[in-house]
Structure 1
Amino acid sequence: MSLPTESKAVFQPDPSSTKLESTTLPIPKATESEHLIYVYGTSPCLGELGWEKNFPALFKERKARVPGTEGAGVIAKAPEGSPYKPGDAVMWRNNAWMWGSLRGVTAILEENIAPKPECLSWSEAAATPLSTLTAWDGVFTHGPLDPAALEGDSAARKKNEGYRILITGASGGVGGWAVRLAAAAGAHVIGFGGGAAADGCKKDGAEAYLDYKQDDLAQLPEKVDHIFDCTGRDTEKGWSILKDNGSFVSVCVDPNSTKPERKPVKDAKWFLVEPSGKNLARISKLIQQKGWKPVLDSVVPYDQFQQAYDKVDSGKTRGKIVIAVHEDAA
């Protein structure tokens, strides 16, 4: 199939407004290390349409900004020496200031691409990269756990078994994946979230689960070595159950804002997830082995892009929303 010269796309005309428009744009001019990909689906991120306004230094060139930082699709054209070839099914997470995924054809760096797990549908794969990579960073990159345990390293697993990990927002997308990853790596995991998710969280490996509406986090009987916060709430109580010289990381707030003055800590910070095709490939293999699935709120047709972003920003979703860019995305 020959590549088209242009494709459908959705763009954000004004960074100060969340209003999106449908248009037709030339396909991206790929660099030597970028792959052209037919996009099958992409998933909106909470607050995504405010990033350019809030972080203008990251968006150095004002062009037709196409949103969508994660997705799944099929390789259309690969650079020389790439491990991928046309026709390969892949998924990815891109930086927000690079080519967006809410378009028929996008361009993605090899370092941000991973094979799509065969056990996932196109929509499930499109909803997977951002949440899983954030979870990975929260327990491995910025946490004490060694991911080598996921690949059979017995020494790494023995080390991980010595850690107690608290994950807040365990009933959400990122938190739920973090429970799975940390438990699979051998850690003792405590989930904190909505009560309806308790059984599922325990099935995914949590040894204990606290309902944020009924249980007091400060009353946890045994302190933890690491806290991964996915809600931005109850950080004060989190400090009370963190062991001295433990670590406390968040994707919502800086935990140092509520840190007791005399509390010794190894690490405490807010972090922003980084794209990583290498880590995403490891996640992809694990998903295939475990049969894990993301939680989807809904899959909407391409022409409902505005409704999809509005619903995500309302905070009233139960799982990820996927926009079906390609008719086979569902």
Structure 2
Amino acid sequence: MQAAHQTTAALTAASTGDAAGAMRAVVHRRYGTPDVLELGETERPVPGDEDVLVHVHAAAVTIGDHHMVTGKPYLVRLSPYGGLPGPRNKVPGGALAGRVHAVGAKVTGFRAGDEVFGQAMAGAFAEYAVVPAAALVLKPHNLSMEEAATVPWAATALQGLREAGQVTAGQRVLINGASGGVGTWAVQIARALGAEVTAVCSARNAELVRSLGAAEVIDYAKEDFVGGGARFDVMLDLVGNRALSDCLRVLNPKGVYVACGGGGGDWLGPLPRFAGMGLRSLFSSQRLRTFFSDPKQKELLFLKELVEAGKARPVIERSWALSEIAEALRHVGEGHSRGQSVVRVAG
């Protein structure tokens, strides 16, 4: 706790204000624990022809951001979001909400002053961020900026259920890890798609996931979800804490198992599990699928409509100041989040 307070003080002290042509930003110079981050001053980015410069009001703090900051599993350093030997993107953060400050020469769908949300490749933990216009949507009218910043992370749940899982009305869906940042969205999206949802989470989060639409809740500390046998059409696994054979035992003969990260070690992360899925699928009538979330405008528009219709809502565990980014990432990295965390960037 003392180290956390020291980190906050150091980050706050490092901030140098708002000079012309500059902006306040969280700077990521090397991989390591969240304490490697510095809150200082960098040059304001310039949008390309098909980009939008967003004045960031809030940004979601996700497990994906934690992976990018720590560089673990090491495999992420080889991705377009990572970099070798150090981080390619010097300002982390992806999901954001704010106001359009400027648009590129070829952008026609947005104008200065529009309230928007979307997914940047990086740079959301700063006062200004460049976002491709194709990854941006007008903010839902019934959400605050902080709430809207969490919505892009719901695209992971949407893609896992609708595209990889091909969930349809009347199906039975099991969600392992239902109370986390993606899980809380997954429960609501599966319900909106017409499925009956069984949620696996801790007892302290049972009432929360029920309020989101889960018909049944399994407390993993007291009950083994495998015990009931084959009874689900789709399983969305957000944790990866059970053997693949256990997960397949709960699915019907034609069921679909969808893995979304989780599990694995510091080197390859979930990649060995994904490889095992590919091998197992050659000899099974069940379908085993994985995917890498890449929020596009069509998913963001669907989520906006879902939120505005009252069929889904953000679950925010805590809102943090930008100077508390190290603590926020450390909390998310512990893996026991109740919904999502969000950082306040500008008012």
Question: TM-score surpassing 0.5?
Answer: yes
Please give the alpha-carbon distance, in whole angstroms, between the structure 2 residues aligned to 1:263 and 1:189: 28
1:210 to 218, 229, 235: 218
1:187 to 191, 195, 202: 195
Match of 2:94 in 1: 69
1:301 aligns with 2:321: yes
Cα pair distance change 1:36/1:4, threshold 3 Å = farther
Question: Given that residues 133 and 279 in structure 1 are in contact (C-alpha distance below 8 angstroms), is that contact kept between their aligned partners in structure 2?
Answer: yes
Equivalences for residues 146-185 of structure 1 within 5 A: 160-185=168-193
Range 246-255 or range 174-183, more displaced: 246-255
Identity %: 24
Range 101-110 or range 21-30, more displaced: 21-30
Please give the alpha-carbon distance, in whole angstroms, between the structure 2 residues aligned to 1:255 and 1:60: 23
Residue type matched to 1:89 in 2? Answer: E
Cα pair distance change 1:307/1:203, threshold 3 Å = closer
TM-score with structure 1 setting the length: 0.84
Residue type matched to 2:134 in 1? Answer: E
Match of 2:30 in 1: 14
Cα pair distance change 1:213/1:314, threshold 3 Å = closer
> CA deviation digits over 1:273-295, x for unaligned, max 9?
11212201110111111164322
1:83 to 91, 96, 109: 109
Please give the alpha-carbon distance, in whole angstroms, between the structure 1 residues aligned to 2:47 and 2:253: 49
Please give the alpha-carbon distance, in whole angstroms, between the structure 1 residues aligned to 2:53 and 2:68: 23
User: Following TM superposition, by how much is the alpha carbon of 1:68 offset from its aligned partner in structure 2, in angstroms?
Assistant: 0.5
Please give the alpha-carbon distance, in whole angstroms, between the structure 1 residues aligned to 2:139 and 2:252: 39
Aligned-partner SS, 1:181: helix
Please give the alpha-carbon distance, in whole angstroms, between the structure 2 residues aligned to 1:245 and 1:230: 21
Question: Given that residues 57 and 345 in structure 2 are in contact (C-alpha distance below 8 angstroms), is that contact kept between their aligned partners in structure 1?
Answer: yes
> CA deviation digits over 1:166-191, x for unaligned, max 9?
11111222112111111111112221
Please give the alpha-carbon distance, in whole angstroms, between the structure 1 residues aligned to 2:57 and 2:68: 20
> CA deviation digits over 1:49-82, x for unaligned, max 9?
1348543332468656101111110011123442
The aligned length equals 307
Match of 1:102 in 2: 125
1:39 aligns with 2:61: no
1:140 to 154, 159, 162: 162
Match of 1:152 in 2: none
2:205 to 178, 197, 202: 197
User: Following TM superposition, by how much is the alpha carbon of 1:240 offset from its aligned partner in structure 2, in angstroms?
Assistant: 0.9
2:43 to 4, 26, 34: 26
Please give the alpha-carbon distance, in whole angstroms, between the structure 2 residues aligned to 1:11 and 1:54: 22
Residue type matched to 1:141 in 2? Answer: E
Please give the alpha-carbon distance, in whole angstroms, between the structure 2 residues aligned to 1:106 and 1:60: 19
User: Following TM superposition, by how much is the alpha carbon of 1:9 offset from its aligned partner in structure 2, in angstroms?
Assistant: 1.2
1:288 to 308, 320, 327: 308
Cα pair distance change 1:102/1:165, threshold 3 Å = same
> CA deviation digits over 1:78-119, x for unaligned, max 9?
234421111111111233xxx411111111001111221122
Residue type matched to 2:53 in 1? Answer: L
1:125 aligns with 2:148: yes
Unaligned runs of 5+ in 2: 1-18, 263-269
Cα pair distance change 1:198/1:25, threshold 3 Å = same
Match of 2:242 in 1: 234
Please give the alpha-carbon distance, in whole angstroms, between the structure 1 residues aligned to 2:115 and 2:230: 45
Cα pair distance change 1:184/1:51, threshold 3 Å = same
Cα RMSD for the two superposed structures: 2.6
Question: Given that residues 235 and 256 in structure 2 are in contact (C-alpha distance below 8 angstroms), is that contact kept between their aligned partners in structure 1?
Answer: yes
TM-score with structure 2 setting the length: 0.80
Match of 2:256 in 1: 247
Residue type matched to 1:280 in 2? Answer: L
Question: Given that residues 229 and 249 in structure 2 are in contact (C-alpha distance below 8 angstroms), is that contact kept between their aligned partners in structure 1?
Answer: no
Cα pair distance change 1:201/1:313, threshold 3 Å = closer
Aligned-partner SS, 2:182: helix
Unaligned runs of 5+ in 1: 146-159
